[in-house]
Structures are given as C-alpha cells and as structure tokens.
Structure 1
Amino acid sequence: PIESVSLGRELDFLSRFPMKTDAAGAPGRRASLKEDAEKETPATEPLGKGEGLVWEEEEGRATLILTFTLRDARTAGLSKTANVFEAFEAGIHHLETRPVKKPRNTSDDLEFFVKCEVHNSDVSVLINSLKKVVQDVKTIRDERVPWFPKKIRDLDKCHHLIAKYEPDLDHDHPVSLRGDPLPRVEYTAQETATWREVYRKLSSLYPTHACKQYLDAFQQLEKCCGYQEDSIPQLQDVSRFLKERTGFQLRPAAGLLSPRDFLASLAFRVFQSTQYIRHSSSPMHSPEPDCCHELLGHVPMLADKEFAQFSQVRSLVCNSSSNEFKGLDLYWFTIEFGLCKQSGSIKAYGAGLLSSYGELVYALSNKPEHKPFDPELTAVHPYQDQTFQPVYFVAENFEDAKAKLQKYALKIKKPFSLHYDPFTCSIEVLNTPQKVKNMLSQMKEELKNLCFALENIS
C-alpha cells in the first residue's frame, strides 16, 4: 500500500539529514542553486502572503514550516527535493508524508510536511529552489504546530499511518476498513474464549477498583450493547450508544496510530478503535490496543458526559501546542492510567488500568507512588511503556482535573487558541478579532437562553 511505501521513502529522506542538527551540504551545489535561483525573476520577488513563516531565529538561523506536493514520488523528484535541503545545509527537525487527497495521474503523489532549520539569508532562495522540483510550496503563517484536522472529514487522513504492530501476533485479525464504516465482525470461537477470560477476571475487580462513572456506564453497556462473557460487542452498536450519551462515536483503526492523529480525533469526539482481539496465548496482556482495551477500558468512560468533555478539552490543548510530547504524557497519565478519589478511596478511570487485570490490582495497592494530579508535573513526568508505572497521578475528581487542565492550557506557549463548533463539527483557529467576536456572540445567545430558563424555574 502507498502508506508503507511513503513511510519507507520518508525514512530514506530523513537518513540524509541529522535530526535537529545541520546537514553537511555541498558548498558548490549550494552556490550553484543560489546562482540559478537568483537569475530568475520569481526568485528575486518577495515571498507572498503566507510564505514568510519563521518559527524562531537563533544565531542567524531560522526554523521554517513547509508543505508541498511531490507528484509521482517514485521518480527522481524525491532525490531532487532532498538535494535542495542538503545543498542549503538544512537541518530537518520533523518530516511526514500523506497521500494526496486527489492524485492526478498516479497513487504515488505525496503531500510533505517539513519543519527545518536553515540560515536566515537562504530562506527565500530555498523556497524558490523547491518550487522548481515540487508543487504547491507553502509556508504556514497561522499554524505554528504540526498539521491537525479542522473538519471531521479530515479524520480520513488520520488512519493511514499505523505507528506500531506486533510481528509475533496472528495477523489474520478480523478487520475490514472497506464498505460499512463500522463493519460487523464474526469472531471465532477462540477469540470469543479469549474475550470471556478477560471479561470474567476484569469484571470481578470493577466493583472495588473502578470509579462510579465507569460502573454506571458499564451497567448500561451490559443492558444496551450486548456486553457479556460469551459475546464480543460490535462497534456499530457501541458507537450508536455513545453518540446518544455523550456525542462520541467510534471509527475503525487497524492498529496503533501516531499519537498526534489519535489525539486529534478526540477533539471531534471521535475515538479510533481497533476491532481485532489479542492473541489467545496472552489474554491478560496485549502489546498493542485491541477490542478488549477499547471496549472494556475506554468506552465506559467515554459514556460519561464529564469525562467525555475532559477528553475533548485535553485534545484541543494538544492540538494547539507545539510540544506534542507533553500532550502525550498528559494523555498517558490521565486517559490511560488516571486515578481519582471517590468516597475516601482511590479508584481507577484510566483505560490502560481498567483493561489490565495485573496493573489494575497493582495501581491501587501500596506498591506504587501516588501523587496529586498536577498538569505541569504530569506533562514532563517520564512514563513506562514496557512495565507497570512506578508513579500514578490522582485527581480529586473529574471536574477538578478538567479545571486544572484548562488552567494549564493558558500557560502553554502556543501561537493560537482553538474552538470546537459542535454545529459544524469543525475546529476554528481563533486568530482574528472577528473570530473571537463571533464566538462571544454565540456565547451571549446561550447565556440569554440559560437566564430565561432560570426565570421560568424560579
């Protein structure tokens, strides 16, 4: 598939440049490129609107964000593109590719996103040199963070790159992304037996280890969505249930997505869910997300309105931040391994805990360290992805966690703020006074309606 091919090209492209360091370019080729570019009229013209983004300047070097389209990437175009960056001694900080939404003549057309560092004096010439070998060269003025979806249909671009798979697993997973957006799956007797074992052991712990919101939702899922020992629920039924409860819906994914793509989906109240089940040889552990993790860990909490709002707010914070790794750490210690206080006891609300028998028991024991949830500390705390966490963060309650996260978001250095419009299911960048004014107008109408409701009640 084109995704696998493009990833290979991406790695080959990156291998030419040390990450976050200057590449060793060829001075002669650089001089030649500059001379050729400066001879042509377009090269001497000032950069157009939107073509002058410099993230930051330090010691005479500028950091740029570029997007461009490479037609038929199997040809020599990729090599020519790499030569431009190499000639200008560009240090590549980040690079990713996506298939072009509407390719012209071949499925090998790719869109590139590049964050690079180059000498200040070379910015214009580098861009004009790129325009000779690729198309649609743009720098991004109002988005100083990596690409994220702004309309719900943009999520179609977020399930192409699978970031991880387990080569030792049985890959005849019952997964299909064709036809019905949430296809019904016929699970085998062995897969159902694996589900039964996981379901029995975990459900025996929930009454004493899971938070009240989880228990309430789990009871409704058993009643309405076929949650039971001898049957694996279908995503179609579960998605319908979530949509009515909190506005969340499920979309099928074939494996572990890149963190940014997965987190971006939550901003639209969309949860990217796998449909296959873990290998029968290890029912209590899975190296990648599977339907046990999704349906038993995530779904019950997404059925709670307060937690659903918490998940969406946290996602919007990550989208507008230039540091996606802090966002990932926050996600890990809240949505996946979060704990909270209820009735004087510590309970689990994180999906990673609620879908893991061993870690759920361990996390609520006296063995790990429990710290109060503080986004500033949580965002920089290292986490373990190969063993149990030595430290877990405990929130006073969901409302307190959401309030702290919103307060933390105000401190994060970001070039813009985001607003989710539930009417159009889109994310708007609040980067002009008019956009802020429009948002305030909507809020005034909502406040009027609330005041009118209070008058009727009193």
Structure 2
Amino acid sequence: MSFLQDKNLESFARTRGEENGEQIPRVEYSEEEVQTWQTIYKELVDLYPTHACAEFNYIFPLLQQNCGYSPNNIPQLQDVSEFLKDCTGFTLRPVAGLLSSRDFLAGLAFRVFHSTQYIRHHSKPMYTPEPDICHELLGHAPLFADPEFAQFSQEIGLASLGASDDMIEQLATLYWFTVEYGICLENGSKKAYGAGLLSSFGELQYCLTDEPGHDLFDPSVTCITKYPITSFQPKYFIAESFADAKNKLMTWTSTIKRPFQVRYNPYTQRVEMLDTMPSVQCLVRDIKSQVFTLEEALGKLKLNM
C-alpha cells in the first residue's frame, strides 16, 4: 500500500500535531472580546431556527451542551475538535491566518479544518475582513459534525490532491459556493448551510430573499462562477440535499485528469494512492466486507419484520 506523498502534504503532516497528542492552546479572551462574541451570538441564535438547515439546528444545541457554546463564553477549539472527532472524525487545527487554497483543501482531505482563534475588532462586531473565531465556530464547526456534510467537504479536499493550479482554483470556487455560501432545500423552502451565511447576521437574512439570484447546484457551472469577497453574494447555488450535492461533486471530480486515484483510510487517517494492483485489491476487499455486513444487516431486518 502506498501513501500519497507531496511537498504540500509533507508540510501539512508535520504540522498536524495530532499524532503526538498535542493539545490546541487555550485562549483567554478579554471581557471586550467576549462582549463582541455575545453581540454576534445573540443576533444569530435568534435567526437559526428559521434560516438555518435542519442538520445545523440539530447539532447546535449539542454544541451548547457539550462544548460551552453560550452568549457569555467563547468555546475553545480543543473542546470543539474533540466533539467533532467523536461525531465524524473531523478535527480542528489552529492557524494564525489564511492558508493557500491548495494547503487548505489538502487539510480537508484528511478531515482536518484549519481554524483561526482570534476575534474581530469590537468596533465592528457584524463585519470581519477575514475569518475569525466567530466565523469558524458559529459558521463552520457545527456542520462538520454531520456525516453527509463532513464527507462532502472531504471529497473537495481529496479532489485537490495532485490537481493542477487551474483545478485548485475551480475547487476553491466550489468550496466558496457550498461550504461557505451554500443553500439547500427543505420541503421546498430555502435554508442556509454555508458558514459565511451562518456567521453573518445580515447576509443570513438577505440570502433567502428574492433579491439575489438562486440557481441549482451544478459543479460544472458553479466552479467557474465569479464572486465578490467584500459584499453580499449576488448569486447562490441551491443543493437538494448534502447527499445530492456530494454525488454531483463526485461525478464531476471523476473527470479531473490525474494519473492516480486516492481514498481516505479512516483507520490509519491517511490518504492512500490507488496506483498499484495490490492497493486496488485491498480496496476491493474492504468493499466486499462492507457489502457482506450490509447484506447480513438486511437479512436480520427481514427476519424481524
């Protein structure tokens, strides 16, 4: 079995820290910073029941119960990371600022989300020029506890490994219109699931109105759509469900030209290259084992019906 080796991934692996059991540093936020968090938190929590997707509204109370989410407390990345790992295997890793698209997407391939820990300036609690802890913990973290969404996010990361610079740009655009600014349908109604929406009081309300455009999610179209980064989006893409978006994404990524295929091994937490017959045979054995387990489960369900 061979593992994907790339200069970006080697650097990424050295900084993970996870394998050595390193804890994410805890931050002592000032009273002023907590007040900024409180302002944002209260505004958004009032909107979530009517504007956020069902998956988000199911998970958010669990974060309140288990990770210290409250108006008067900024949760610690370590606590949230442990919760996410128990749910889907995703973990959080702290970064001081923005990463390149290639490095950031590579992290998703390993079910690692790189998160900031600083908070926006108190004078503008409703605006931040770049991601801060409010965006990360209120917008991103909850849905990484949802299995379908976690797998969708990881598929974008896996598709980026070994991809050309042009393809990285297209994948980053897909990420923008889904993980950051995605909308889904629930019983015919539009609901937000993108982190940029779920962490923005103003845009969370705006995105579901008739003012912006709304198109169905189509990766081949979405990946080449231009977007602004300092204003509300003029157009959003709607997914019928996370599962539907994932299937469409995987169909589209299968067209990416590269001389190998990859898969994530959840047991070793490594990305494996499927570039030799033994590696493919190993995957076939895993699939056969899963199919056998599925058939056994179906058989027992029939007996109990």
2:97 maps to: 255
- RMSD value over aligned CA atoms? 2.0
Query: Alignment partner for residue 200 of structure 2, among 356, 363, 382?
Result: 356
Distance in 2 of aligned mates of 1:349 and 1:156 = 32
Deviation at 1:414, TM superposition (A): 2.3
| 2:275 maps to 1:415 | no
Query: Alignment partner for residue 13 of structure 2, among 155, 158, 168?
Result: 155
Give the paired residue count.
Answer: 295
Tell whether the 8 Å contact from 2:105 to 2:160 is kept in structure 1 after alignment.
yes
Distance in 2 of aligned mates of 1:154 and 1:262 = 9
Cα distance per residue 1:98-129 (max 9 Å; x no partner): xxxxxxxxxxxxxxxxxxxxxxxxxxxxxxxx
2:297 maps to: 453
Query: Alignment partner for residue 123 of structure 2, among 281, 298, 309?
Result: 281
Distance in 2 of aligned mates of 1:390 and 1:449 = 47
1:394 maps to: 238
Q: Which runs of structure 2 are paired with 1:334-349 in the superposition (5 Å)?
A: 334-349=178-193
State which structure, 1 or 2, has the greater radius of gyration over its C-alpha atoms.
Answer: 1
Instruction: State the secondary structure of the residue aligned to 2:42.
Output: helix
| 2:174 maps to 1:330 | yes
Tell whether the 8 Å contact from 2:77 to 2:92 is kept in structure 1 after alignment.
yes
Instruction: State the secondary structure of the residue aligned to 1:250.
Output: strand
Tell whether the 8 Å contact from 2:88 to 2:145 is kept in structure 1 after alignment.
yes
Instruction: State the secondary structure of the residue aligned to 2:26.
Output: coil
Matched to 2:74, the amino acid is: I
Deviation at 1:157, TM superposition (A): 4.7
2:61 maps to: 219
Which structure shows the bigger proportion of residues in strand conformation?
1
1:243 maps to: 85
Cα distance per residue 1:223-259 (max 9 Å; x no partner): 1111110110111111111111111111111111111
Query: Alignment partner for residue 429 of structure 1, among 273, 280, 298?
Result: 273
Deviation at 1:147, TM superposition (A): 4.2
Query: Alignment partner for residue 271 of structure 1, among 104, 113, 117?
Result: 113
Cα distance per residue 1:268-296 (max 9 Å; x no partner): 11111111111111111111111100000
Distance in 2 of aligned mates of 1:433 and 1:380 = 35
Q: TM-score scaled to structure 2, two decimals?
A: 0.91
Tell whether the 8 Å contact from 1:158 to 1:261 is kept in structure 2 after alignment.
no
1:138 maps to: none
Distance in 2 of aligned mates of 1:443 and 1:180 = 33
User: 5+ residue gaps in structure 2?
Assistant: none
Tell whether the 8 Å contact from 1:192 to 1:230 is kept in structure 2 after alignment.
yes
The 1:389–1:333 alpha-carbon spacing in structure 2 relative to 1, beyond 3 Å, is same
Instruction: State the secondary structure of the residue aligned to 2:9.
Output: coil
Tell whether the 8 Å contact from 2:12 to 2:103 is kept in structure 1 after alignment.
no
Cα distance per residue 1:125-184 (max 9 Å; x no partner): xxxxxxxxxxxxxxxxx98x974427xx8433589xxxxxxxxxxxxxxxxxxx953111
Cα distance per residue 1:60-83 (max 9 Å; x no partner): xxxxxxxxxxxxxxxxxxxxxxxx
Deviation at 1:434, TM superposition (A): 2.5
Tell whether the 8 Å contact from 1:242 to 1:249 is kept in structure 2 after alignment.
yes
Q: TM-score scaled to structure 1, two decimals?
A: 0.62
Query: Alignment partner for residue 228 of structure 1, among 67, 70, 82?
Result: 70
Instruction: State the secondary structure of the residue aligned to 2:126.
Output: coil
Distance in 1 of aligned mates of 2:79 and 2:26 = 9
Q: Which runs of structure 2 are paired with 1:354-393 in the superposition (5 Å)?
A: 354-393=198-237
Tell whether the 8 Å contact from 1:337 to 1:351 is kept in structure 2 after alignment.
yes
Deviation at 1:320, TM superposition (A): 4.1
Matched to 1:415, the amino acid is: P
Tell whether the 8 Å contact from 2:139 to 2:198 is kept in structure 1 after alignment.
yes
Instruction: State the secondary structure of the residue aligned to 1:256.
Output: coil
User: 5+ residue gaps in structure 1?
Assistant: 1-141, 160-178
Instruction: State the secondary structure of the residue aligned to 1:215.
Output: helix
Aligned residues: percent identity? 51
Matched to 2:158, the amino acid is: L
1:440 maps to: 284
Instruction: State the secondary structure of the residue aligned to 2:238.
Output: strand
The 1:147–1:449 alpha-carbon spacing in structure 2 relative to 1, beyond 3 Å, is same
2:30 maps to: 188
Matched to 2:280, the amino acid is: V
Distance in 1 of aligned mates of 2:285 and 2:203 = 48
1:199 maps to: 41
Which structure is higher in RCO with an 8 Å CA cutoff and minimum separation 6?
A: 2
Distance in 2 of aligned mates of 1:440 and 1:191 = 52
Matched to 1:156, the amino acid is: R
Instruction: State the secondary structure of the residue aligned to 2:61.
Output: helix
Matched to 1:363, the amino acid is: C
Deviation at 1:449, TM superposition (A): 2.1
Query: Alignment partner for residue 316 of structure 1, among 158, 172, 189?
Result: 158
Deviation at 1:209, TM superposition (A): 0.7
